Amino acid sequence: MKLVERYVYPKTTRAKLGGLRHYTVDGEERPLPSVTTILGETKSKRDREGIERWIQKVGKVEADRIKNEAANRGTAMHKYLEDLIRGTRSMDLTTLGQQAQKMAEIIVERGLNDVDEVYGIESTLYYPELYAGSVDLVGRYNGKISIIDFKQTNKPKQREWIGDYFQQMGAYGMAHDAVYGTTIEQGVIMMCSKDGFYQQFVIEGKEFQQAKHKFLGRIDEYYNRMDNNSDALVRGDQ
């Protein structure tokens, strides 16, 4: 696996606007909402109710603890993977850090060994005037330029549970194609549970195109909601 400077990815800043993550990109007139912001704000009623039922079941304090621990573990795992790809080593001797390192090593052995060229790590991608986001890796996987995302999970996932992950891949693929003139046709999710169970999901072909179309629908829904909220504020609605 070698680093190849094939594309020049923009330098950006991130900020919260109205509590929602946005990116400031040079050349764009206004901050762009993140891909995860769009997905989060347009979750289906069914998904939102499922989250609420889980919070009620375990309690808010425990739910917050689980979410924060998972987020910290994921951040540590991503940091270890990024350093490893760049040829450096990070050391975290905490229990969570050691767990994240083992998860990262499994991802390297089971997934990253099939990546022979890396074009971007933790790089910002944006679709002009619409959205932006930080992609874990852009590289050549099994001979195809791919969007690659690393995921930590508390328990194994089934394919039908991770539709938003696939739409995230589609969003990054569309953004890369729009700015760099590529034709990315594949996304790869490399996932490891805290117990060391590895899963890999490849999305391509018709399924990848469907994920893109679904995300385009989420973009429309997001901006329609933002417009309606702005109109309500002007009217003074509560």
- The structural domains of the chain, with segments of one domain joined by +, span 2-224
Give CA–CA dist 70/64, Å, rounded: 10
Angle, CA of 173, 225 and 128, to the nearest 5°: 35
Residue 67 corresponds to which amino acid? K
Question: What is the model's pLDDT at position 238?
Answer: 47
Give CA–CA dist 227/28, Å, rounded: 19
Compute φ and ψ for 11, nearest 5 degrees. -90, 135
Q: What is the CATH number of domain 2-224?
A: 3.90.320
Question: What is the model's pLDDT at position 1?
Answer: 80
Question: What is the model's pLDDT at position 226?
Answer: 87
Q: How many whole angstroms from its chain centre is CA 234?
A: 34
pLDDT by 10s per residue, the chain, length 238:
888 989 999 989 999 998 999 999 988 989 999 999 999 999 988 888 888 998 998 898 998 998 898 988 889 999 999 998 888 877 777 888 899 999 999 999 999 999 999 999 999 999 999 999 999 999 999 999 999 999 999 889 999 999 999 999 999 999 999 999 999 999 999 999 989 999 999 999 999 999 999 999 999 999 999 887 764 433 344 4
**Tens-place pLDDT, residues 114-145:** 999 999 999 999 999 999 999 999 999 999 99
Question: What is the model's pLDDT at position 230?
Answer: 60
- Taking CA atoms, 167 is separated from 40, 56, 162, 189, 202, in Å, by 12, 28, 9, 12, 12
Give CA–CA dist 213/27, Å, rounded: 26
